[in-house]
Amino acid sequence: MPKLFSGKEIIKILCKKYGFEQINVVGSHVKLRKRSTDTAVTTVVPLHHQVFIGTFKQIMRQARIDPIDFIEKSGE
């Protein structure tokens, strides 16, 4: 079974390794944004103890990050 991340772990990795910034919190969901010169990428991460695989993949899709790369960087 693949590793399940908590919402806090995902947010920490996205901010430290990928340059995202926390811009808003509504209930148990955190909105993150990464700005580049021509675009802004936004994703929402739930603050759950374990984020389900489908939710994790959707976060990676929104963040435009390869899930395998994310998992590799989480181990660094």
pLDDT in tens, 22-56: 999 999 999 999 998 888 999 999 999 999 999 99
**Paired tokens of 16:** 């430290």
Range 7-74 has CATH code 3.30.920.30: yes
Four-CA torsion 3, 45, 61, 51, nearest 10 degrees: 30
Give 3-state DSSP helix, strand, coil % of the chain, rounded to 5: 40, 25, 35
The pLDDT of residue 1 is above 70: no
pTM assigned to the model: 0.90
pLDDT band at 12 (very low <50, low <70, confident <90, very high): very high
Higher pLDDT pick, 29 / 76 = 29
In the chain, what are the domain boundaries? 7-74
